Structure 1
Amino acid sequence: MIIVEGLAKRFAIPKSGEMTQCKRLDPRLQDGFFNSVQSVSFRARPGEVLGLLGPNGAGKTTVLRMLSGVLTPDRGSIEINGHQWHKQPERMRRQIGFLSASTSLYERLSVEENLVYFGQLYGLSPAQITNRIDTLSSQLELAPFLQRKVVELSLGMKQRAGIARAVIHQPEVIVLDEPTTGLDIMSAQAVLDFIHSQKQQNRPVIFSTHRLEEVSLLCDRIAVVMQGLCVFEGSLTEFAGSRDPNALREAFVGCQQRLSQSPQGHTRGVA
């Protein structure tokens, strides 16, 4: 069980820094700080897939980076299976598999060499590493390019290899930041199949996406973030009345319009 309560994170804006007109008008800009995340709460139970939705710049990536331990929240709490980040940070890092746009692989090494290296960093034995590589090769269809150097791979191949690197240690929670962005149909499907397989293994998965078709197919619950606020958290049917992507799109647009009329936002549907 993942419980996120009242997360907030702000960043100081350099006095000499230039800002776009759009950013200057953002209500999160206050007193020399940009309040990227103001208040975000959600829960994900074992075997649930939670989709984190929101427009570009809403604060989704900042939320996921706090959840993964890359950033420290200014306020709020993160609890995973009864353990809290601020009390047991090292234990928590081992429980989470995190993939973001900045998750890197060593390009001069092969995919297999990368997985062996990161498996060793997590303290896995040679036998455990071999077993995990075999499992992930099957789940993510890595076998055709396992021996190729990362620098030679397509974007879709790199993304699948990056997911394998993020979960080589068999984490209890998986966090993916827009994992299918820019991928071709087959690579995107391999990623979606992997997420579904983790759900079947009773792991909670949290992933951000702009593709409502993916949300419709995979998600049990969603959390909608706009202007750093969680404006909805609950099931798809509570949000849109059905799992239909068009209904989800209409509900999403309606959320954004209501927030623009009431900048303070709200949180609804937390269970």
Structure 2
Amino acid sequence: MFRLDNQVAIITGSGSPKGIGREIALTLAKQGAKLVIADLNKEGIDAVVSEIKSLGGTAIGVELDVTNKVSVDNMITNVINHYGKIDILINNAGISQKVTVEDMTLSDMQKIFTVNKFGLFLTTQAVLKPMKKQNYGRIVSLSSVSGKRGGGVFGGAHYSASKAAVLGFSKNLAREVAEHGITVNCVAPGLVNTDIWKSLPEDEAQKVIDAIPSGRPGETKEIAATIAFLSSSEASYITGEDIDINGGSHMD
């Protein structure tokens, strides 16, 4: 099994007690990584940091607004001061909204893109300098099946568009930074067994399940395991890739 011993990993949006970000953090910690739990939710940050430490892992918490450059730059400074380096960035922070294009407002569109794309840009840009300095880095961003097939699970057209933008951005960046030993990849989850999924009415939930060949939602551990591999040195020859994790609901 690959290891991430002494690798410093920032995971944005990892303060939710039941979200994918928390599971990613726990998985990377079990592989030996030193974690940075970055989120707006201070209570959630503290809970995840405590959980990692209780399991024998290493973690610090940083309050982060990915849409604010000052907040992002302060996080980078704090991480460098504490750990001395940054090896891994997992762009997990994101928001969604279920609304039709007809009912969507410009403000709705701007809000989704500000977090899902512009926030991702700020955090990614901020880690490039320290990663280039050490000639090594792993950047993994969460896109979505919605960004590849045009919705069909959660969110509106603005969510799908923002997640498609993540794919194009990551592929271009992968070409720019490959010579510096930095890989840039995406994962595109389909339906995942989180609180959002559990909140769906039974009939609507069944329609979603019926469209998945595997016949079930994915588990957060399945998403986290793929991300852990892409974060490792064993994945050094994989860059500019997007990996579908959706039980067969979308196949390229």
Tell me the TM-score normalised to structure 1 length: 0.31
Larger Rg: 1
Structure with greater strand percent: 1
Of Structure 1 and Structure 2, which has the larger fraction of its residues in helix? 2
Q: TM-score w.r.t. structure 2 length?
A: 0.33
